[in-house]
A and B are shown apart, each in its own frame.
Chain A
Amino acid sequence: MIEDLRKLPPGTTITADICLIGAGAAGITIARELAGSALRVCMVEGGGAQYEYQESQQLYAGDSVGMPVALEAGRLRFLGGTTNHWGGRCAPLDELDFRRRDWVPHSGWPIDRAELDPYYMRACQVAGFSTPWLSDPETLSYLNVSLPALNEQWLKPFLWHFTPAMKAAPAWHWATAYGPLLQESSNIRTLLHANFAAFATSEDRTRIRSLTVRTLSGVSARINAAKFVVCCGGIENARLLLLAAEANSGGFGNNNDLVGRFFMQHPRGPAGLIVSSGLMSRTQEQFNILLGRDGLVVEVGLTLTPQLQEQERLLNCSAVLRYQGDPDSGLAVAQDIWRSLQSGKWPPDVGEKVGRVAGDFGDVVRGLKHRLAAGHPMDLEGSQGIPSRSAILLLDLEQAPNPDSRITLAAERDALGLRRVQANWQLGELERRTAARFAGFVGAEFARLGIGRCRIEPWLLDDHVPMASALEETYHYIGTTRMADDPSAGVTDRNCAVHGMQNLFVAGSSVFPTAGQANPTLTIVALALRLADHLKN
């Protein structure tokens, strides 16, 4: 059942076997797994069922003192969490991402990719995919796409799968998908507007006895549970542990001052401009968002091979092409005509324009078909489906773990009296070198294959150009409660249990020791499924 703490009697006490703190992708996935079991589960969510700024979202405000982090815009504080503005891009991490790489300080997971593989399979179902993923070659074959023969020692194609769209949403949203299950479940009690206030612990501070939650209007409740799971997102997970450690004079995984450190994202930005002698129609049919029958949507991009990462001592990295539609193409001209007619005006130079559309008729039909199939109306601004002569090589970078890139508590307090968060997001030169080398290899391969010529962006050529001028955040908050077998190297163990605590667990991307280049949601869900199995057992 889903309840609102504002409507419960003050001082309510709830007893549960498991208390989930946060109802985003991780929390709801665990709840879904435990639904129908004999376990009594209480899931608390600080926000309501919908977006509310004053009532909830503004609690996410904080300071950003390094690379800019949009603390309020990047996260959503209501049922479903940040999946409510998720684009639905899914990909697993690579095998190499889990390994210790001697050229990447603090790299290495305590588990390997094979350990997660069965959970990735299940995660696909939880994320709304109705059929198991085909391998990348099988997917391309199914889509009838043949890619150019890249030098497989250096570069490989990479496919992102997009979740199915939902009613009134472009991607799979956890609250929409699983809200009815939460509402109907007899063993899952979901409490909205229930903000974290404090933990009460055993005397030795190794065991949590209860959690106090509170509304902004002052209604509070206590949850007594055998196990607690913090699943509030990559920033808030660290904040809660830091607040708890502060209130309890230590503990909560922070005995080695690691909570909040190693804060990472996937920095995104342009690495170069690809310019072609003619229209890039063929390339646009290969490296793009491709639509198949049965609702299959994938984006084909490029990534560094593991061999090259090792050989050149680079991080992981990927890129997609963002085409810059040619304004002289028949489709762009047809759009001009359409917009003019829509606004009741006769387009200027109409004879010449019609001639251009007629002369480019094949491309117009092809582009229009692609555009409409992708759900873009004819008059929408943008280059989707428009033949292009140039494209931006848009990077997603792995970030090297850096203890100085961190989340801490700010001095200012929020409306609940809790210290706000301070983000100090930092990037290093390994990120820049990886991006520069990757762009160089893509540029050379594209030249060799006759796709186009690449001009690398200035920030990759001059170490003095601030990376903040080119890179922006992706709202993928990673690493702040990293997983490690050795308590001196991490906050959580391989089972996502907080070191030094008997009954506290963390779910979400904050446990990733390294970020890879893939979007984190599928891995968050896979790890949540694994944790759910652990909790059940």
Chain B
Amino acid sequence: MDPEQFASMGAHARAVTGLAVDRRGCMRLCIGLLGVLWLGRAVGGREDLPPAGDLQSWLQHFGPGRLGDPMALSRLGAIYLASHPGEREPQHLSRLILSDRAGPVELVLIETIARDWSKHDVAQVDGWVLSRTEARICAAVHLMGGGPG
């Protein structure tokens, strides 16, 4: 899937449906996550990718650019955290996202999100059906100060 194709999705969706800004935020997240998957597949196995367990540094270096609008992601993350207060601690959240899985962050995320779907481990955030890991990535962006809560 071509990430550039996704980049135009929010605008098209608004044109067609009159979607609100928060929908754009979610679509950017989806664009970003699918972009991550695409990049992960494209570069899978490269040694310079940050290893799992270093989610925050990965998000700081790569996240905002790849995942889209940090403000929108943060907003979804804040909504998610409001109903999951037990996941507010960054290190704990990072462990929940990556578990103890070894390997580059992108590849771990790909596998974890795929596993979420197969187990129907989903979260509804502001109405959007996200995989649990997608929702937690939003929460991590929020905890990193990606936007107002």
- Per DSSP, chain A at the interface is mixed
Whether A453 pairs with B17 at a CB distance below 8 angstroms is no
A342 interface residue per 8 A CB criterion: no
Closest to B19 in A: A275
* A residues in contact with B46, CB < 8 Å: none
Closest to A446 in B: B129
B62 interface residue per 8 A CB criterion: no
Whether B17 pairs with A324 at a CB distance below 8 angstroms is yes
Cα–Cα, bound, A273→B26 (Å): 13
With contact pairs A277-B34, A440-B124, A443-B122 given, residues A327 and B129 touching in the complex (Cβ less than 8 Å): no
- Picked from A272, A389, A443, A461, the residue with its CB within 8 Å of the CB of B13 is A389
B41 interface residue per 8 A CB criterion: no
With contact pairs A324-B16, A324-B17, A326-B16 given, residues A278 and B5 touching in the complex (Cβ less than 8 Å): yes
- Residues facing B in A177-210 (CB within 8 A) are none
Whether B129 pairs with A440 at a CB distance below 8 angstroms is yes
Closest to B9 in A: A277
Among A273, A326, A450, the one with the most B-chain Cβ atoms within 10 Å of its Cβ is A273
* B residues in contact with A440, CB < 8 Å: 122, 124, 129
A448 interface residue per 8 A CB criterion: yes
* B residues in contact with A448, CB < 8 Å: 114, 117-118
Q: How large is the interface on B (under 10, 10 to 19, 20 to 34, 35 or more residues)?
A: 20 to 34
Whether A275 pairs with B34 at a CB distance below 8 angstroms is no
B12-44 to A contact mask, C-beta < 8 Å, 1/0: 110111010001001100110010000000000
Cα–Cα, bound, A458→B19 (Å): 14
Whether A441 pairs with B120 at a CB distance below 8 angstroms is yes
- Residues facing A in B99-120 (CB within 8 A) are 114, 117-118, 120
A457 interface residue per 8 A CB criterion: yes
Whether A447 pairs with B23 at a CB distance below 8 angstroms is no
Shortest Cβ gap from B4 to chain A (Å) = 10
Q: Which residues of B contact A (CB under 8 A)?
A: 1, 5-6, 9, 12-13, 15-17, 19, 23, 26-27, 30-31, 34, 114, 117-118, 120, 122, 124, 126-131
In order of increasing CB-CB distance, the 5 nearest A-B pairs are: A443-B129, A448-B117, A277-B9, A455-B127, A456-B127
A-B contact pairs, 10 of them (CB 8 A): A327-B16, A388-B16, A389-B9, A447-B131, A448-B114, A448-B118, A453-B30, A453-B128, A455-B128, A455-B129
